[in-house]
Structure 1
Amino acid sequence: MRGLARRLRGLPPSCGPVRLVAVDGHAGSGKSTLAGLLAGALGGAPVLHLDDLASHGAFFDWTERLGARVLDPLERGRTARFRRYDWQRRAFVRPLSVPPAPVVLVEGVGAGRRALRPALAAVAWLEVPAALAWARGRRRDGPELAGFWDGWTAAESAHFAADPTRPHADVLVRQRAPGAAGAPGARGYRVLPGPGARRRAWWAPRT
């Protein structure tokens, strides 16, 4: 993680003064854990979770909300302020903020989508197969959310079929020993150049 963090700090800003970095992958793949470890390696970089902007009625219809509430303020060097979606209360309630730090991580399914890539300094893809990731997510959430997962997997499959992230990823992050229960620690990841690294040409050979 430290090697990747050094590379990210060295990138030119992509959204005002901010280096906006997407952490994308299938639901249940361990993106939140990875983003947390990377944020720590970056000295406490802010992490924006896309689950806070999505909703039951629009799993992937958050682009305009992200642009207006987060990207526009960051582009001006200002703190982004918005309300977090509560998945139990089905309403946007809790106020959150994201400061214009040198690096800000955007974590969630679709974080590297086409509409956001012009504002991104880099895209990281967590390399966990969809079937494995979804099985983890279902185990984590239990049988009471089985119906939700049925709808989610269909929506996610449709999203990535129309707007895939992996071909544009600058780095692929693989778990050295992925288990059924969750993600490994920082030493359990291997960082490799992704398909998008050839176009951006910022990858250095060592991690």
Structure 2
Amino acid sequence: MKKLLLALVILGYSQSEAQVKFRGGVKAGYAASTINNLDADYRNGLYAGVYGDLNLSRIYSMQFEMLYLQQGVSDLHVYQGNNLAPQILDVNRNYLSLNLLNKFSFNKISMFVGPGLDIKISDNSNSLRNYRESQDYYSLPYENNSDVDLTINIGVAFKINNNFSIEGRLRQGIIEQIYTNSANYYGDSNLNKSFLLGLNYTFD
């Protein structure tokens, strides 16, 4: 009896070990982003990076991502007085995005959800400052509020073959990134939101 129990434990352990697999890969694609509660258009950008997928069972895996991600808005209208024409400017904010995704796979379809940490690595605030000085505006159209954002990722992926897959996701930030110097926007929360659509390549 003891030998049988030992054999079952060893068999179960070997089966669980066989299911654990790590595969790395690269991904890139299109990013459409906006900042909530602004009179602006979506910014057309891109994202690219690397990921590692730790398969823990037949349906569940954890995916670690490190991405370069372009976010912001295009054609932001900032109103600074009744006698002044609105400033129409782009707000470009680029991030290093670190994400931990819980992935559930069913045949060729997988769904994922998880948190992310975005760290701002560049923006166009210097060009906006030069624009303000050249146009004689009395203040910048917005001020930086945070260089770090916490995000929620939710999306779906379709497996083309053993290496290629396509995915789409929604990302919502929860830390206010900017505040505008315009009476039109006072009291509104300016949070990042983006939609990503791209191609993944997983190494053998």
TM-score category of the 2 structures, normalised to the smaller one: under 0.3
Per residue, is there more strand in 1 or in 2? 2
Per residue, is there more helix in 1 or in 2? 1
Q: Higher Cα Rg: structure 1 or 2?
A: 2
More RCO (CA 8 Å, sep 6+): 1
